[in-house]
Structure 1
C-alpha cells in the first residue's frame, strides 16, 4: 500500500501550495497540491515529510503536528498542519512548476493562479481533501 505524508502550511491566512509538474504518470500532474510525498521503506510519516520538505523547498521543518489520515484502497495519506514561519521568498522551489501562498477564497474556487505560467490551474484531490478538513475544523 502506498503511503504519503503531506503538509498544509499556513502563513498570514494563506496556504502554501505547489503546482505539480506536467509529467505524465505522476499523481495529479499539472494541478496544485501540497508539499510532501511518499514514505520510503522503514520511514515514519513525520520523517518522510521532513525529508520531502527539504527536497522540495529546501526547508528544514522540525516537527509538524499530525492533523488527520485519509485512506483509500490504493493509498494512505497522512496530513500534517502547521504555520509556516518563513516568508515565501526564503523558500527555494526544487520540485514542481510554481509555489504560492493561496487564500481560502481563491482555493474555494477550485483553481489557483500561477504567476510563473500566467494561468489558473485546478486543485489536486489531496488539496481538496485538506480544504474539506479545514471547513470541518472549528
Structure 2
C-alpha cells in the first residue's frame, strides 16, 4: 500500500475505506450521494465505502460498507493506497479495487440517490470529490492497458 500522507497519521486518526469497482468492460461503479448539508460531499458522485467503526480495519470496513450500502459482494478485493480527504471529512481513506459484473440498477441501495457504471473517459465531466477523483486517476494510470 502507498500513502499520500506526508507525515505519519496521528494515533486514532479518523479512517475510512472506499472501493473502485469495475466491470469486465472497465467501467467504474459510482454512487451519487444524497444532497444533505450535514454529510461530506453532498450531491457528488463518489465510490462506495465509508468510515471505519472503532477498532475496525479498512479492509473489514469496506466489505461491511459495500454490503450495507448496496448489498454488494465484490470479488478480488485488493488494497491499493491511502489518500487523505483534506477538504471534506479529514479522514485517511484506504482505496481498494474489486470486480463486479452485475446490473447496478438491481442493487438494493440503502444510502444515496443511485449507482451507475461510467466509462473512465466520462469521469472528468462528473462532480466528484477531489480526493476520489485523484484516487480514480491514480488507479487508472497504474492498471495494465
TM-score range normalised by the length of the shorter chain: 0.7 to 0.9
> Which residue among 17, 26, 29 is the counterpart of 2:39?
26
Q: Give secondary structure in 2 for the equivalent of 1:65.
A: strand
RMSD: 1.8
* CA-CA distance at 1:20 after TM superposition: 0.4
Contact 1:4–1:38 under 8 Å retained in 2 = yes
Gaps in structure 2 of 5+ consecutive residues? 1-12
Q: How does 1:41-120 map to 2 (within 5 A)?
A: 41-61=54-74, 64-71=77-84, 74-109=90-125, 111=126
Contact 1:34–1:126 under 8 Å retained in 2 = no
Contact 1:15–1:101 under 8 Å retained in 2 = yes
TM-score (norm 1): 0.83
Q: Relative to total residues, which structure has the larger strand share, 1 or 2?
A: 1
Contact 1:6–1:80 under 8 Å retained in 2 = yes
Report the counterpart of residue 141 of structure 2 in structure 1: 136
Q: Distance in 1 between matches of 2:132 and 2:83?
A: 12
Q: Give secondary structure in 1 for the equivalent of 2:138.
A: helix
Is 2:137 aligned against 1:125?
Answer: no
Q: Distance in 2 between matches of 1:72 and 1:94?
A: 23
Q: Give secondary structure in 2 for the equivalent of 1:101.
A: strand
Report the counterpart of residue 10 of structure 2 in structure 1: none
Q: Give secondary structure in 1 for the equivalent of 2:77.
A: coil
* CA-CA distance at 1:33 after TM superposition: 0.3
TM-score (norm 2): 0.79
Report the counterpart of residue 21 of structure 2 in structure 1: 9
